[in-house]
Structures are given as structure tokens and as C-alpha cells.
Structure 1
């Protein structure tokens, strides 16, 4: 039975962002306010130096969270000398320097373990909702949506093999040469109790804090970590409902899209899809995305 907003456990929307994606995150917020229901709050997790920039996005059901509330004291951001200070790098005594996309994952894991809500839907800054979406739809009774595609073809991007091996080591599982289940998507759901159990498992296996283990390598995929834990270690089939439906259609790479191409992209959404994700590095004009999404 699909839960309703009145009957489902509290569910948060969570976005980990940074100043370079501020305009995109603002557009995401507008689309959430227009199209999304059924959530308790939308939390935006940012570096301490970016809090003031994102504060204007706060509202009755949106809060900006300083990463210092989430991450250990020994993991801190500094200007990256290799980019002449234009980018940030996170340094710690526990492992190699981390980039922003690594730390965004750590924020989400830490937040999921601390939040009051039972469920969390992770949404990237470059996602825009174009159809109505009820967060309660992630629940079937007390079970939460769990994305997995079995027998998935080899990915065209990313270092999935290294990510899977690292997840296996952190969780005390085997490390196959290639993991043929795909757990990676956007608009992905996690349970807070599962994340807490996952982090406890890492501590049991490594003999150190979960963040120490996670920060010890740049080979990190939160989706593979969560997916392998649910499938191979958690042993709680009652907590999740597997699905291979991707709710967000993503334009991963290519040339900047014009208005016609964007309109065609949106028109091609499957009936179950509610959002688009246009990767920022494609250079697609935000004003065109706004127009095609009907947010003008």
C-alpha cells in the first residue's frame, strides 16, 4: 500500500551544495516549492563559508545546515592552491585531501544519521522538478523505496569498481572485481535507521569512527555503500522496497542544450519521472531551464 502524506513516516529532502551551484540550487528550491509535497523540511548542507550565501533560501520548510554541525573537527576546508584558491579542498590527518564532491557525500551520510525524520530523499542542486511529486510515494507501508538495477551494464563513467571494493572493505564484505548491481541515481532514498546501522557497521569493521573510515580514501560512493549494506549486510528486508525506476531524467554530458532540445528532453520523460537533471558542466543556460520547467 502506498502511504499518504498523513500516514507516512516523516521524510526530509536533502541537498548538499556549494557556492558554485547557488543559482542552480535556488532554481531547485523554486521547483520544490511549486511541485513537491509530503516532506517535513528541505535541508541544504553547505560549507561554513557558504552559509551566509544560502541563508536567503531559508523558509518555513527549508533550513541551511552548516557542515560544522555534521563533520568532525579534524576535517576542514581550505583554499585549493592548485586552483589558485578558486576551489576548496578538505584536509584531515585521517586520509588524503578530499574534493567537494567527496565531502558532499560525507555531509549527507552524517546528516541522515542525525536527523529526526525517518526517511530522506537526496536531491542534487542541478535537479529541477517539472511535475507534481509527493515524497510520501517513497513509502509502501513502513518500507522505503530502494533503488537498484540488477545485472546492470558496465557504467560509462565513474570508477565503480574501486567504489565497490572500498564499500566492501568498509563493510567487511567481499570485494568482487566488478559489482553488477547499479545503485547510483539521483532522487534517491535512504532510511535514517539504516544509515545509522551502516555507520555502526563501519566502526565495528574498522575499529575507528565511521568518519575516519570514510575519509580515509577518495574511493567513495555513498550510493554503492548504502546499496551493498542493504543487500549484503543489513538483513532487514522489511525496511525497503526495491525499484529500478529512475524518477529524474539526467543529461550527464554533451553540448549545452538550447530551448528546443530542452523542450524535447522534458517531453521525453517517462510517465513516472518527475524531474530533470541538467549537469552544470554542460553549460546549459539556467534561464532556458527555468522557462522550459514553467517557473517563469
Structure 2
């Protein structure tokens, strides 16, 4: 199966993205090509990462002309803001999600494998193993969204609006992870469905709210519109993720404990950029993992 690996990144994550690319080149097998999706001003910085199996894509090739980034005056230009006639100002994490969804209409592949910049592969893996009898494994934690997870419920509600589904769903599943696959044909059908349901360009419909979770939108579409066709739900997270600073001590010993908690069925680790572990130590420990 042909896999388009996609990573939406930005200049502040260049060093982490470089490490992620090194780990893919070392451990990812099969028929794959990697697309790094960035805003125009970051293309030159990421160009050195390009190669036979990697392409840097500017968001200008993915976005409509009326959605563009500008310096954010509230941060004295240190950060960016995305402006359009059809939405309130958007932030970088919104733009990154739009890039990933948009790529579906620009590539020829069977699967879109989304891998975040802060992910590092630690053992060999062929994405073709996500396919079984024509179905693709879809990450899903059944009933994983509790009543207290208000942000997740906002994401579920916006997904419902885009897809012509109820705002709430019971049980509410969690589809979010940093190393997940989408069927490319399903992703394209999703964009077509949003346009048919809302009567608007899918980007314009998507940014009508800032409560955007592309994983939630895809998951609800696959489950509730397609009835699960072509997908095999699985709660197996391929990436062992450190989401919060409080989970492990922010020391070398804490990072070592985190690495030891890697399960045998996990092929990657991820450390959020706001968790203060040196990238050099993440690299050293990640590449010293012995497959179990």
C-alpha cells in the first residue's frame, strides 16, 4: 500500500522535525513519501530536509488565496496569525490542521499517515501493517471523552455541524493521537461531504469555528456517516506520548522512566515541545531503544 506521510510544522519546531525525519529514514519501511507542510516563510528553512522520499510543501499550494498568514501584532510579530474574510483570526495549530486535511486532494496514495514534529520513531515499522483485509486501522478510544473534557465536546459539536450530525454523541469517542492513519479516499470523501452538507468551500466551513479537531472530524465521518466502512477501530496507540509536564519529572531520570514505559506494540515516542527535555537526550534515548 502506498503511504503519504504528512507532518505540519513550523520554524520553531525545525530541530524536532529534523530528528523526526532522521527517525523515519532509519525505521520506516514500505512504499512511502513524506510531505512536510509549512507556511511560505518557513519553506527555505525546511528545504535542507528535502530528498528522494521527502518534499517540502508550502501552504500556498494547499490554501485558498483568501486565507493567509501575517505577523501577529499581539506578540510583536514573533508569532503568526491567519486571516480571512470568513473567520476570526486563526492560530498556527488551526493552520496545521487545515494543511493536513487539504493534502488529501493533492496526493496519490492509499493512506495519509499523520506524524507530528515532536514524534521520534524508535523501531522498524511498515505502515502497510495498518491494513487488514482491505480495512485500515483507525485509532479510537471508545467512550474516551468524559463529560469534564469540555474542549473535546466543542470539537465534537463543530464536527457534527460540518457533517450534518448531532452536536453531541453518546458514547463520545476519542480519535486524537500524534501518529495516526487516514484512508486517502475517505479523507477526500470527507471534504466533498462537508461541501455538500454546508454548501460552502470546505475550508470556509471548517473555519466558521475555532473549535477544530481534524481527527475528530475524520473519526465521526468514518463512524457516523460511513458506518465504519473500510475501517477497523483500534485503541492501540502506536506512539507513546508525553503530553503533560507533570506526568514525569523534567529531568534525565524522568525521561528515562518515560522511555521505559514504552509498550512492545508502540513504535514511536513523542515529547511535547513545552515539556523541557533536551532534544539531544530525546535522540540518545530514542535511538537506544531495544525492540521488545
Return the match for 1:294 from 277, 287, 290. 287
Return the match for 1:118 from 110, 125, 130. 110
Report the Cα distance in structure 1 between the residues aligned to 2:250 and 2:121, rounded to whole angstroms.
18
Kept in 1, the 8 Å contact 2:71–2:79? The answer is: yes
**Equivalent residue, structure 1, for 2:25:** 33
**Equivalent residue, structure 1, for 2:213:** 221
Kept in 2, the 8 Å contact 1:13–1:39? The answer is: no
How big is the alpha-carbon RMSD for the aligned residues of Structure 1 and Structure 2? 1.7
Kept in 2, the 8 Å contact 1:13–1:42? The answer is: yes
Kept in 2, the 8 Å contact 1:148–1:243? The answer is: yes
- Matched residue count: 286
**Equivalent residue, structure 2, for 1:203:** 195
**Equivalent residue, structure 2, for 1:276:** 269
Report the Cα distance in structure 1 between the residues aligned to 2:25 and 2:76, rounded to whole angstroms.
37
Report the Cα distance in structure 2 between the residues aligned to 1:155 and 1:273, rounded to whole angstroms.
28
Determine whether 1:134 maps to 2:126: yes
Kept in 2, the 8 Å contact 1:55–1:64? The answer is: yes
Report the Cα distance in structure 2 between the residues aligned to 1:206 and 1:258, rounded to whole angstroms.
49
Determine whether 1:85 maps to 2:64: no
Determine whether 1:49 maps to 2:41: yes
Shift of 1:139: 1.1
Where does structure 1 differ by over 3 angstroms across 4 or more consecutive aligned residues?
Answer: 155-158
Kept in 2, the 8 Å contact 1:44–1:63? The answer is: yes
Residue aligned with 2:98, SS:
helix
Kept in 2, the 8 Å contact 1:161–1:179? The answer is: no
Report the Cα distance in structure 2 between the residues aligned to 1:11 and 1:228, rounded to whole angstroms.
22
Kept in 2, the 8 Å contact 1:121–1:188? The answer is: yes
Shift of 1:157: 6.3
Residues 178, 99 of structure 1: alpha-carbon distance in 2 compared, 3 angstrom cutoff: farther
Residue aligned with 2:264, SS:
coil
**Aligned positions of 1:215-254 closer than 5 A:** 215-235=207-227, 237=229, 239-254=230-245
**Equivalent residue, structure 2, for 1:257:** 250
Q: Greater shift after overlay, 88-97 or 169-178?
A: 169-178
TM-score by length of 2: 0.94
TM-score by length of 1: 0.92
Residue aligned with 2:167, SS:
coil
Kept in 1, the 8 Å contact 2:145–2:152? The answer is: no
Report the Cα distance in structure 2 between the residues aligned to 1:54 and 1:179, rounded to whole angstroms.
41
Q: Greater shift after overlay, 33-42 or 181-190?
A: 33-42
Shift of 1:253: 1.3
Report the Cα distance in structure 2 between the residues aligned to 1:76 and 1:155, rounded to whole angstroms.
36
